[in-house]
Amino acid sequence: MWVIEIGGQPAGLAQHYLHVDYPEHDAAVGIPHAVGIDYLLGADFAGQGLGPVVLGELASFVLARSPDARCCVATPAQANRPSCVALERAGFRRHGPSQPPEEPPAWTYVWKRLPGNVDDRSAAQ
């Protein structure tokens, strides 16, 4: 579990986990060798265009800590349009629908590790 800070202020929460450690979730999502993320920005920080920046940083951060993972995956509820838009703007690509256990129908979004294990998109440009 991580605290998201923006400008030195606590702005939200995030967590990451290896899909292999949660076999039912792993099977439902169907993306091998993945590290999953969950995230939440507080109301004071939502709607300001910060989500894509936070999500890109989070994906790079968790992939750097998960050397065996080939990608970072998020599974927002299909009804959570703001989260889906933020993921797309961050550079995640929609893989398709999924049904994680005990969660509403979701979309699966994937951020692939760059060749050479470079995780920071800005370093690759």
Is residue 102 in a domain?
Answer: yes
* Residue in the block written with tokens 């629908």: 97
| pLDDT of 122 | 44
Domain boundaries, position 52: 2-117
The band of 115, judged by pLDDT with boundaries at 50, 70 and 90, is low
Amino acid at 38: D
Is residue 66 in a domain?
Answer: yes
| pLDDT of 101 | 92
Please report how the helices 81-90 and 51-64 are oriented relative to each other, as an axis angle in degrees rounded to 10: 60
Amino acid at 102: E
* Single pTM value for the model: 0.88
The band of 114, judged by pLDDT with boundaries at 50, 70 and 90, is confident
pLDDT per residue as tens digits for the range 29-83: 999 899 999 999 999 998 888 999 999 999 999 999 999 999 999 999 999 999 9
Domain total in the chain = 1
Cβ density class 62-71: b for 16+ within 10 Å, e for less = bbeebeebbb
Amino acid at 114: L
Is residue 104 in a domain?
Answer: yes
CB 26 within 8 A of CB 11: no
Q: Provide the CATH number for the domain around residue 8.
A: 3.40.630.30
